[in-house]
Amino acid sequence: MNSKRSTQKTQTQDSTTQPLPTTQDQEQELFPVVGIGASAGGLEAFTQLLNNLPSNTGMGYVLIQHMNPQQKSMLTEILSRTTQMPVTQAQEGMTVEPNHVYIIPPGATMTITQGVLKLRPREKTYGLPMTIDSFFISLAEDLKNKAIGVVLSGGAGDGTRGLESIKASGGITFAQCEESAKVSSMPNTAVASGHVDFILTPREIAEKLTNISTHPYVNHLTAVKPTEVIPEETDALLKIFHLLRAATGVDFTHYKQTTLKRRIQRRMMLYRLDNLEDYLHYLQDKPAEVTALYQDVLITVTSFFRDPEAFEALKIKVFPAIITNQRKVDDPIRLWVVGCSTGEEAYSIAICLLEFLTNQGINLPIQIFGTDINEVAIEKARAGIYKPKQVAEISPERLKRFFVPVEGGYQISKSVRELCVFARQNLIGDPPLSRLDLITCRHVMIYLGAAAQKKVLPIFHYGLKPTGFLMLGTSETVGEFKDLFTLVDRKYKIYGRKMASTRLAIESITSNYPLTTAKSQLSVNDASWNDLEIQKQADRIVLNQFAPVGVIINGDLEILQFRGQTGLYLQPAPGKPSFNLLKMAKKELRLELRSLIYQAKTQGESIKKEGIQIEEEKHVRLVSIHVIPFQITGLGAELFLVLFAEMPMKTTLLSSATRNDKTEQQQKNSYEQEISVLQQELATTQDYLHSIIEEQQASNQDLRAANEEILSSNEELQSTNEELETAKEEIQATNEELNTINDELQRRNIEANQDSGIFLSCDRF
């Protein structure tokens, strides 16, 4: 079969920065490439694998073997006898063709870009050369879901990171089973990472590769993109989302649909299922597959000091600004690492910050919060234990200073681990952190849908201090929220927080579906759904036409929500924008509002007052105010609904004392009316002063109680201090006794040695 990549020979763009071609013609031309890595004992595994592979699978095969760079390789000649496919030692610029086998030359590191093999001399690293990882990672970036990785017999842990990248890009991963491998540490390390789809013998791997070579997910003859196999909205797809949410509590409808569909189709391919309905039935019959799909969707690729230049940018542009913002000695530096995965990103930032503060001679407390939705990853982050291959690119100086050797690898030193707190968090559903100096959210936004991204960025703005910074991935931006963030570093997407012109409404995204099983949710028929929508629409009309206008406020009198047109009662105050109710209310309503809200708060019931006058030009409007306290389940804080309504048939003209034609009776009525108004204002003022006095008394009581608690705590601390002093004296006394005993033992040891010398002398005589 002739290669369909011949037009790509001249396209030699860097695989680490350029994406895979996305036109429909190029998508159809791609065929799967199988990267096969091995080390000690790999020759036998290679032979068994190739011997059981047919010569017409339509896939290309690239073998990566750990070789001595000083010796000529005979692997090409040996493997040519085991397969009918052409076997060639790879050369620079060679295009991979289907049904061909390519072997890495000795002393080289090989990658693939646009189907073209790239060779360079093997670089010296801080650890073992990871030639298998290098090829697998480039294969994942180049071929996405058409990349296949196989790890066979060998020592160390090369290939595991590469399999992680292949699986994250939607590819398929294999590892040789322990029983059939001559040296099993390399495939066992890959299996332990959780990124291997099939654990088989070389013969079984060949059979599985032959089996999947015709599946539409990887078949190069497929005329459509993999994500187009699944329609935009289907009952089966929605039911799968329901199953995921019922099992994990995560609503994946807010995630990027193309990525989710690719993951789902990948799982379908593993079980040779071509129909989405069949996969839905498989999920319903095997709950373990729901968990496997969940972990497949959440796979992330991370490493220590990923994009090292980005961390240098933090040291140059962010950390100096953080420590110079009039920071007090006891004010901790607070950082939030969003999507921290297994912790490498959080620990890398902690190490960089510690290095920076040490170089500056500054000692400040540090708090780093790492959050991720993946509980398995969070547990690994808390342990802080990593395989040698995961720390291979870390300099020996950092490895010695910030890591501790443990069995099977290295652990982050306790001094660094104590700075980091890891917790599971659903970014688009759980409350955010606050008062942060820096938020890093690298390579997370690209997996969220547009609606979720628009909700997340205001959350980040809310969580940052006025002088805080936000760092995104190199392919991510703040989009339409340029009024919230100012660009600090274009290349590494570092932004500074701006002051918002208006108060932002921070909303967590609610699920599209209630947390019930998929069957019960989807059993609602169309008629009942339509009745529900009709009722909702009717309720909206009634509320808009006849319900009084008002606002919802919190205990600090800050307006959280407007209901209806409140312009007759509230208006923006001059000066700095504010959503405080008393600042926005018309002057005639302020005393009444404060008094009514205080009564509603203390009595715990709704309070209403009518007949409040508002003067407008030469007219008076009578208004009623109704304050209703309420609470939201789970929120805890008390809220208040403040409603305004016009009093009907109460509008009168203001009397004018200057009218010459006014009768004596009219003047008398006017005086009585003015007296009534003054009496009402006096009563309102008295109520207001009374509420202020009660508030002050309550505050005084709280202060006294707090003072008593402080005094009590002080006494407890003094008592504890005395106990510690006593314990210290006891320890010193014990230490002196131990020293005395030690001296006595040393003296006796010397005497015993002298006696033994005398006995030896006597024996000679």
Half-sphere exposure in the Cβ direction for 606 (13 Å, CA)? 9
For residue 38, pLDDT over 70 is answered with: yes
For residue 553, pLDDT over 80 is answered with: yes
CB contact set of 245 (below 8 Å; sequence gap of 6+)? 251, 252, 511, 513, 515
| Residues 122-148, mean pLDDT to the nearest whole number | 81
Query: Is residue 453 very low, low, confident or very high in pLDDT (cuts 50, 70, 90)?
Result: confident
The CB density around residue 606, as the number of other CB atoms within 10 Å, is 16
- Name the 3-class secondary structure at 398: helix
Query: Measured between alpha carbons, how far is 219 from 492 in angstroms, rounded to an integer?
Result: 37
Q: If we measure between CA atoms, which residue out of 439, 506, 508 comes closest to residue 476?
A: 439
Q: How does pLDDT run across 381-411, given as a tens digit for each residue? A: 999 999 887 888 888 899 999 999 998 789 9
Phi then psi for residue 74, to 5 deg, are -105, 10
Question: Structure pTM?
Answer: 0.56
Beta strand pairing status for 607-616 and 619-631? Answer: antiparallel
Q: Mean pLDDT: which of 11-20, 98-107, 708-717, 735-744 is highest?
A: 98-107
Query: Is residue 355 very low, low, confident or very high in pLDDT (cuts 50, 70, 90)?
Result: very high
Structure tokens at 716: 């407890």
- Lowest-confidence segment of 231-245, 551-565, 674-688 by average pLDDT: 674-688
For residue 677, pLDDT over 80 is answered with: no
The confidence score (pLDDT) of residue 156 equals 76
The confidence score (pLDDT) of residue 337 equals 94
| Residues 153-159, mean pLDDT to the nearest whole number | 84
The confidence score (pLDDT) of residue 512 equals 46
For residue 227, pLDDT over 60 is answered with: no
The confidence score (pLDDT) of residue 19 equals 37
Q: If we measure between CA atoms, which residue out of 119, 165, 120 comes closest to residue 139?
A: 165
Q: How does pLDDT run across 616-632, given as a tens digit for each residue? A: 766 778 888 999 988 87
Query: Is residue 548 very low, low, confident or very high in pLDDT (cuts 50, 70, 90)?
Result: confident
For residue 659, pLDDT over 70 is answered with: no
Average pLDDT of the chain, as a whole number: 78
For residue 13, pLDDT over 80 is answered with: no
Q: For residues 228 and 753, which has the higher predicted lDDT (pLDDT)?
A: 753
Query: Is residue 1 very low, low, confident or very high in pLDDT (cuts 50, 70, 90)?
Result: very low
| Residues 113-136, mean pLDDT to the nearest whole number | 80
**246-252 contacts: CB < 8 A, separation 24 or more?**
246/515, 246/516, 246/517, 246/518, 247/287, 247/290, 247/291, 247/294, 248/290, 248/291, 248/294, 249/426, 249/515, 250/294, 250/373, 250/426, 251/429, 251/509, 251/511, 251/512, 251/513, 252/297
Q: How does pLDDT run across 336-347, given as a tens digit for each residue? A: 999 898 899 999
- Lowest-confidence segment of 429-438, 531-540, 630-639 by average pLDDT: 531-540
Q: For residues 665 and 509, which has the higher predicted lDDT (pLDDT)?
A: 665
Q: For residues 661 and 217, which has the higher predicted lDDT (pLDDT)?
A: 217
Q: How does pLDDT run across 72-107, given as a tens digit for each residue? A: 788 888 898 889 999 999 899 999 999 999 999 988
The confidence score (pLDDT) of residue 12 equals 33
Task: Please classify residue 148 by burial: count the beta carbons closer than 10 Å to its beta carbon, then call 0-12 exposed, 13-18 middle and 19+ buried.
Answer: buried
The confidence score (pLDDT) of residue 401 equals 93
DSSP conformation letters of 234-277: -HHHHHHHHHHHHHHS--GGGB-HHHHHHHHHHHHHHTT---HH
For residue 693, pLDDT over 80 is answered with: no
Q: For residues 330 and 663, which has the higher predicted lDDT (pLDDT)?
A: 330
The confidence score (pLDDT) of residue 239 equals 84
Domains, in order of start, for the chain: 6-212 (3.40.50.180), 226-297 (1.10.155), 308-497 (3.40.50.150), 548-657+668-686 (3.30.450.20)
Q: How does pLDDT run across 266-323, given as a tens digit for each residue? A: 888 788 787 788 888 888 888 888 888 887 787 667 889 888 899 999 999 999 988 8
Query: Is residue 7 very low, low, confident or very high in pLDDT (cuts 50, 70, 90)?
Result: very low
- Lowest-confidence segment of 27-36, 184-193, 452-461, 733-742 by average pLDDT: 27-36
For residue 330, pLDDT over 80 is answered with: no
Q: How does pLDDT run across 581-617, given as a tens digit for each residue? A: 888 888 888 888 888 888 888 888 888 888 888 877 6
For residue 127, pLDDT over 80 is answered with: no
Task: Please classify residue 533 by burial: count the beta carbons closer than 10 Å to its beta carbon, then call 0-12 exposed, 13-18 middle and 19+ buried.
Answer: exposed
The confidence score (pLDDT) of residue 23 equals 38
Query: Measured between alpha carbons, how far is 110 from 91 in angstroms, rounded to an integer?
Result: 9
Beta strand pairing status for 172-176 and 198-200? Answer: parallel
Q: How does pLDDT run across 493-545, given as a tens digit for each residue? A: 999 988 765 555 555 454 444 433 333 333 333 343 345 455 555 655 666 55
